[in-house]
Chain A
Amino acid sequence: MIKRSLITATILSAATSGHVLADVTLDAVKARGVLQCGVSTGLPGFSNPDDKGNWKGLDVDMCRAVAAAVLGDATKVKYIPLTAKERFTALQSGEIDLLPRNTTWTQTRDTQLGLNFAGVNYYDGQGFMVSKDLGVKSAKELDGAAVCIQAGTTTELNLADYFRLNGMSYAPVVFDTSDQTVKGFEAGRCDVLTSDQSQLYALRIKLEKPDSAMVLPEVISKEPLGPVVRQGDDQWFNIVKWTHNALLNAEELGVTSANVDEMKKSKNPNVRRLIGLEGPKGKGLGLNDDWAYQVIKQIGNYGESFDRNVGAGSPLKVNRGINALWTDGGLQYAPPMR
């Protein structure tokens, strides 16, 4: 099983290597020529292989953006599908360079696992999906329900908190992959499927009869999802952080994959700094000066990625909501590039 070998790898690497992994990821990725990126085993909108086997999604775009920034080519990515349980060990052991896998930023994960969160590419919250013929209108009516969840997630913990707080009992039915979780829900093994809300919409369209299920109104937690890197490699941490910031700043400045070439003629100093014609460029990051240009050219800005993967241009049709830019009343806000 993958998990065992991953754990063995962590233990071995922790036990044998004599030095700390400082500032080595960038060199390793460049030498390898591919970025090894940890994604989910299949979650529409975030990371999911399409019918031709190409990985697509908001998280996949994060992998592609970093590959474009570092290697100049968004296709130079090796996707490594991981279950929720496997993901952190895979990152700790060096099996992957980057983990953008709908992973919630929490204090424990940030401070005790030797990891760093490089930003938030989707603000989410946990919700519940039930079968319509259950006749339930609110999560408060779920006392005694059997609940399908995925192992090794914040979902498991929030669920326990919520039911305990509301004095309700429940039977947690825990699976390793979202596929199994959905199948369990479909077969009636559980009454409720709980997960991050965005994922509920994604999982719902995976159902055989999506219309037979509905998402309850309650959102019971904060789930800021973002790309994760190993702690102790500040250069790599910066690269991922600023790749994400570039995507957001590009949207704010109206720079898109379609107009980025034209924008080279722009007089706006913010735009010029973004695409590396002026300002800090790539030096401090150890990248080429056109790194952000490559990202925007090949991936587009955050808004484009959102729209294509989870928003109006996708089957999920999620509203921008709190994921809108701060200028539109949302939470997405990137520090200036100067």
Chain B
Amino acid sequence: MSSNRPSSESPTKPDSTPRFWNDPDKRALIFQGLIVLALGAFILTVVSNTLHNLEQRGITTGFDFLSVEAGFGILQSLIPYSEADSYGRTFIVGLLNTVLVSFLGIIAATFLGFLIGVGRLSKNWLLAKICAVYVEIFRNIPLLLQIFFWYFAVLRTLPSPRQSFELFGGYLNVRGLYLPAPILEDGFGIVWTALIVGIVATWLFKRWADKKHDESGREYPVGLIALGLIVGLPLLVFFFAGAPVTMDYPALKGFNFRGGVTLIPELIALWLALTIYTAAFIAEIVRGGILAVPHGQLEAASALGLPRGRTLRFIIIPQALRVIIPPLTSQYLNLTKNSSLATAIGYPDLVSVFAGTTLNQTGQAIEVIFMTMAVYLTLSVLTSIFMNWYNSRSALIER
């Protein structure tokens, strides 16, 4: 290059500030800028092209439909909903139903997955084998089939409402599980207060006990005291307040049971299938996490004379969790996304209600799908953020 230049500059003096296109940092900046511009232009063209074409084809666009009356019923809603509500509300109803089944699924799958993962490592041969078989079976059968199995093969064979099975004051039939619901009366507020007091007191006590433990090595029965404060105290208050709760029992009126709470079979089937399927993966993650704790740690613990329970609590679990949490997060995300298979059995989740009926009734595919995708993205990001936060708390602190 320099030889091509008219050599008015002194050739001996090194160019300390290179031309900006020769500076890799600046060049990178320019390229990045160009890419952002190109991407922006691309998105802009796609959006304006889409709007233009939709208009040309006489397809209504925009989000005005969200305030229009929906006019259709939804089987299960966590918030008050009637057909006189808006399409916007069907979005919320569907969203909450998705959140409900995902939440229930995550709790149950975690619990079951941990049991089975630990069970696979058990010294009891039979238990370990049963757990291994569980994992192999349920993670290898496609989830949709499992949902169909529970819904069509199991729940569909239950009797009609008039011949319901009776259990725990509730009823089980082909229309679902009908359970008595507690109705809190006026005096119940004091029980909530007691619960909050219990939780705060436990937290304070734990801090104090930890401090004492650090200073003197003395142990306090934190678990027992926590149980007493969080469960015992509200319970005592509850009875002293004269048990301010009445039960609303479901009863057969006309065609169906009314009163109490109803778990519709669509929810039960989906919940069961999501739980059982995801638990198989979680079990493997848990097993891997525990096996990842170096054996030397165990030996060191027993050399120090730590009893088995404490070895588990203070040595194994904290180290295993470090390995378990990242893949566990992605299982939670999977479960949430898999819950959209709900539409196959008519559980009114977001995809079934909003991206299904609402989309069809309004015909506004692009807006509806956009909103639906945004929801799954947001749910996933929120779960990730929470799990990352939890992960950073339980991560190994290098000293």
Contacts and interface: CB of A to CB of B under 8 A. Distances in A.
Interface of A: 7, 10-11, 14-18, 20-21, 84-85, 88-89, 92, 108-109, 111-115, 134, 142-146, 151-152, 156-157, 159-161, 163-164, 170-176, 180, 183-184, 187-189, 191, 230-232
B391 interface: no
Interface string B235-279: 000000000000000000111101000000100000000000000
Contacts of A183: 152, 156
B147 to A, nearest CB: 13
B60 interface: yes
A146 B175 contact: yes
Contacts of A7: 359, 365, 369
B253 A172 contact: no
A180 B346 contact: yes
24 contacts: A7-B365, A11-B50, A14-B49, A15-B49, A15-B50, A20-B56, A20-B57, A111-B58, A112-B58, A143-B254, A144-B258, A151-B357, A156-B72, A156-B357, A157-B71, A157-B361, A159-B72, A160-B72, A160-B83, A164-B83, A172-B72, A172-B75, A183-B156, A189-B175
Contacts of A176: 343-344, 346, 356
Interface of B: 46, 49-50, 53-54, 56-60, 71-75, 82-84, 152, 156, 160, 174-175, 253-256, 258, 265, 343-344, 346, 348, 352, 356-357, 359-363, 365-366, 369
Given A151-B352, A160-B83, A85 B57 contact: no
Given A11-B50, A11-B369, A113-B363, 13 more contacts: A11-B365, A14-B49, A14-B57, A16-B46, A85-B357, A114-B54, A151-B356, A151-B357, A157-B72, A174-B75, A180-B346, A188-B160, A189-B156
Contacts of B49: 14-16, 18
B358 to A, nearest CB: 9
Contacts of B174: 187-189
A11 B367 CA distance: 10
B363 A14 contact: no
Contact of B365 (A10, A143, A171, A191): A10
B360 A84 contact: yes
A194 to B, nearest CB: 12
With most chain B CB atoms within 10 A of its CB, the pick from A11, A89, A189 is: A189
Contacts of A88: 360, 363
Q: Which 8 A-B pairs have the closest CB atoms?
A: A152-B360, A113-B363, A160-B83, A114-B59, A114-B57, A172-B73, A114-B58, A112-B60
A134 B254 CA distance: 10
Nearest to B258: A144
B82 to A, nearest CB: 8
* Chain A contact surface mostly: mixed
Contacts of B73: 156, 159-160, 163, 170-172
Nearest to B254: A144
A88 B59 CA distance: 11
A152 B361 contact: yes
With most chain B CB atoms within 10 A of its CB, the pick from A109, A174, A183 is: A174
A85 B352 CA distance: 10
A119 B386 CA distance: 56
A174 B352 contact: yes
Contacts of B254: 143-145
B391 to A, nearest CB: 32
A113 B60 CA distance: 7
Nearest to A143: B254
A139 to B, nearest CB: 13
B294 to A, nearest CB: 46
A161 B60 CA distance: 24
A92 B59 contact: yes
A89 to B, nearest CB: 6
A213 B72 CA distance: 25
Contacts of A180: 346
A180 B343 CA distance: 12
A145 B357 contact: no
Nearest to A176: B343
Contacts of A189: 156, 174-175, 265
With most chain A CB atoms within 10 A of its CB, the pick from B72, B82, B156, B265 is: B72
B295 to A, nearest CB: 47
A279 B85 CA distance: 54
Contacts of A21: 57
A1 to B, nearest CB: 9
B265 A160 contact: no
Contacts of A174: 75, 346, 348, 352, 357
B253 A144 contact: yes
Contacts of A184: 346
A10 B369 CA distance: 11
A187 B156 contact: yes
A180 B347 CA distance: 13
Contacts of A84: 360
A160 B58 CA distance: 28
B58 A14 contact: no
A108 B365 contact: no
Given A85-B356, A157-B72, A180-B346, A171 B256 contact: yes
A109 B175 contact: no
A89 B363 CA distance: 8
A173 B72 CA distance: 12
Contacts of A142: 255
B288 to A, nearest CB: 32
A152 B84 CA distance: 17
A159 B53 CA distance: 34
B52 to A, nearest CB: 9
Contacts of A17: 53
Contacts of A152: 356-357, 359-361
Given A159-B73, A174-B346, A176-B346, A14 B356 contact: no
A173 B357 contact: no
A113 B71 contact: no
With most chain A CB atoms within 10 A of its CB, the pick from B74, B82, B360 is: B360
Contacts of B357: 85, 151-152, 156, 174
Nearest to A233: B57
A321 B120 CA distance: 69
B71 A14 contact: no
A16 B174 CA distance: 48
B144 to A, nearest CB: 10
B360 A14 contact: no
A14 B253 CA distance: 51
B256 A85 contact: no
B397 to A, nearest CB: 45
